Structure 1
Amino acid sequence: MEQRDSFSYQCGVVDAFNEMVAAEVKALALSHPMDTREEMEALIAYAHESCRRHGTKLYPECDPLITDLFPASLNRGKYNILFYKADHVIEEYIRLKDRKAATVEAGAYFGGNRSRIARDYGRLLSYPEETIRRLLSENTDRE
């Protein structure tokens, strides 16, 4: 199989997700997680250009939201670039992170509260309910 370079692959992912956000197929999209801030910063200039072409916006995320929707190890300690079109979407993402932090702080991040936060994250990513249910049931790498 032909070897691909990681940066070019990430650029393709950025364009694909920006196209989906611009077409309003997704309200929020995530780049693939990156291991270092430097890796994310190297992609930012290209991501800004992609956003300009597609009429979308980006939010560099250095402390990603960890929920049961995805394996914890996929995003813990990683860096992402979030793509969105409408400001209320990124505001909702930040509120969801704050809600999780407050729930953890109150010692109430379990059961329905924990599940609700993961489900709300899935909806923000525009996943169908069946996909959210499947991701939650298949995830065995929880924080």
Structure 2
Amino acid sequence: MEYTEGMDSFSFDCGMIDAYNETVALGVKALAVSRPLDRREDREALIPFVHENCRKHQTKLYPEDDPLITDLVPAGQYQGKFLFLFYRADHVIEEYIRLKDRKKALVASGAYFGGNRSRIAWEYGRLLSLPEEVIRTLIAENNDKEQV
């Protein structure tokens, strides 16, 4: 049985967005990532709800067309997908963007391997407010790592 059986995907996404925003509003997470969507149009259809939900929770949103891919999450989960990032403090989204830029520079210079690659995944996990043991497990169990 699929977890969304009997529910339209728009309603499901709205419920998930409310949950993501609540975790950010309560300070449980500094950064939350929405469920990845296959089509930009599906994400755009959610924008009015997302704006209202962010007002309700006093959070901010960042529409992401080029998600950060690290060894933390299977590459196929976010590659070519469209999503939202939720946060409260501007420094959080600024750190996310800096992390993406650092990864891009490491890839361009041929240095995105070993400790550099691992550090990017760990820093992303910390930005998502994940406990260290969870970060370690996610990286270790990820069998769909990005090929760069």
Q: Same-fold call, TM > 0.5?
A: yes
Question: Equivalents in 2 of 1:104, 1:45: separation in Å?
Answer: 36
Q: How many pairs were matched up?
A: 143
Superposed CA RMSD in Å reads 0.8
Cα deviation for residue 3 of structure 1 reads 1.4
1:21 maps to amino acid: V
Partner of 2:131: 128
Matched, 1:16 2:48: no
2:38 maps to amino acid: D
- TM-score w.r.t. length of structure 1: 0.98
Q: Which runs of 5+ in 1 are unaligned?
A: none
Matched, 1:34 2:34: no
Match of 2:91 among 88, 93, 118: 88
Cα deviation for residue 4 of structure 1 reads 1.1
| Moved >2 Å (runs of 4+) | none
- TM-score w.r.t. length of structure 2: 0.95
- 3-state SS of the aligned residue for 2:7? coil
Question: Equivalents in 2 of 1:58, 1:50: separation in Å?
Answer: 10
- 3-state SS of the aligned residue for 1:63? coil
2:110 maps to amino acid: G
Partner of 2:106: 103
- 3-state SS of the aligned residue for 2:41? helix
Cα deviation for residue 26 of structure 1 reads 0.2
1:94 maps to amino acid: I
Post-superposition Cα deviations, 1:30-81, rounded to whole Å, max 9, x if no partner, equal 1100001101101111111000000000000000000000000000000110
- 3-state SS of the aligned residue for 1:81? strand
Q: Which runs of 5+ in 2 are unaligned?
A: none
Question: Equivalents in 2 of 1:46, 1:29: separation in Å?
Answer: 17
Identity, % of aligned pairs? 69
